[in-house]
């Protein structure tokens, strides 16, 4: 199976910040004011709220406690939706999140007509930066789907926070090893990265056996064949190996981390 992140590796690298301590839901109204409900189901509720002191809009995600198996961690992340505050009541956790109102990245790509290797390379590079950060902290992203990736106002990637439980009404990429119950490893994250790139360049979800278009460049085909290996042991061992692949030869990852330039696609906002 894919390699898990060992205890020794966690000790050598930095670790996740301490879990967030939720505040009583009654205190939330002192800081935030709800003004629009976007979605309301049995286990999930999404609203837009005002941060009163700053008069800015943020998102509120309410999740049934039954679905929350892991603690929530507050990260300062450029390419992932950050948790700003955490509250609780008897049935749910209420997470105040950065507001990201674009459609999913896949929808934005379809609307822009920019389904290309160049687009895939840009957003895969940003995703790699986040995976590298998580793996260094001894964690993994886990299940991933097209709806997990959105865009901020400047066209940069905003991944769904890795700590959030999965909404069963949404589809995720199906990992070859998933039927064994082992999908939270670095190698599983690399399969998801391959499926992410595949869907952008092929404009269809990945299926087994993997069939690649002859229109792809040799570099893209090589990377996808490596990431989408059925056997996790045959996938890359770490993020650095992927960053060194010829597909990313013109990507300056250090510059990308601090870039303020616009991404290749600007989002169509949902009103």
CA distance 242 to 223: 8
Look at residues 64, 101, 99, 103 and name the one whose alpha carbon lies nearest to residue 82: 99
Average model confidence (pLDDT) across the chain: 89
Q: Are 177 and 232 in contact (CB under 8 A)?
A: yes
Average pLDDT by stretches of 10, the chain with 271 residues: 42 69 95 90 90 88 92 89 95 94 91 94 97 93 89 94 80 85 88 96 94 97 97 96 97 92 85 49
Quote the pLDDT of residue 270.
Answer: 58
Beta-bridge mates of residue 159: 80, 149
- Positions of E strands within 108-166: 149-151, 157-159
pTM for the full model?
0.88
User: How close are the terminal C-alpha atoms of the chain, in Å?
Assistant: 44
The helix (run of H) or strand (run of E) holding residue 7 is helix 7-12
**pLDDT recorded at residue 9:** 47
Per-residue pLDDT tens digits for 110-143: 999 999 999 999 999 999 999 999 999 999 998 8
Query: What pLDDT score does 14 carry?
Result: 59
Which pLDDT tens digit goes with each residue over 194-213? 999 999 999 999 999 999 99
* Cα–Cα nearest to 241, from 78, 104, 122, 131: 131
Distance CA 124, CA 197 (A): 7
């Amino acid at each position: 199976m894919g390699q898990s992140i060992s205890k020794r590796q966690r000790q050598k690298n930095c670790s996740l910040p301490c879990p967030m301590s939720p505040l009583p839901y009654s205190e939330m109204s002192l800081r935030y004011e709800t003004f629009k409900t976007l979605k309301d189901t049995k286990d999930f509720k999404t609203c837009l709220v005002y941060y009163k002191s700053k008069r800015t809009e943020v998102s509120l995600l309410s999740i049934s406690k039954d679905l929350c198996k892991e603690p929530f961690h507050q990260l300062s992340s450029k390419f992932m939706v950050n948790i700003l505050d955490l509250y609780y009541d008897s049935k749910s956790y209420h997470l105040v999140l950065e507001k990201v109102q674009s459609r999913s990245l896949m929808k934005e790509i379809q609307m822009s007509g920019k389904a290309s290797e160049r687009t895939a390379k840009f957003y895969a590079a940003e995703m790699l930066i986040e995976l590298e950060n998580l793996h260094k902290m001894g964690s993994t992203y886990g299940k991933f789907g097209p709806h997990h990736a959105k865009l901020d106002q400047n066209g940069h990637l905003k991944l769904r926070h890795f700590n959030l439980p999965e909404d069963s009404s949404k589809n995720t990429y199906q990992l070859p090893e998933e039927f064994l119950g082992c999908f939270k490893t670095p190698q599983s994250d690399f399969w998801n990265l391959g499926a992410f790139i595949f869907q952008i360049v092929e404009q269809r979800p990945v299926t087994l056996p993997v069939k690649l278009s002859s229109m792809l460049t040799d570099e893209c085909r090589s990377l996808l064949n490596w990431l989408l290996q059925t056997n996790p042991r045959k996938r890359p061992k770490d993020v650095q190996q992927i960053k060194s692949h010829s597909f990313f030869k013109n990507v300056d990852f250090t510059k990308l981390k601090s870039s303020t330039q616009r991404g290749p696609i600007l989002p169509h906002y949902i009103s």
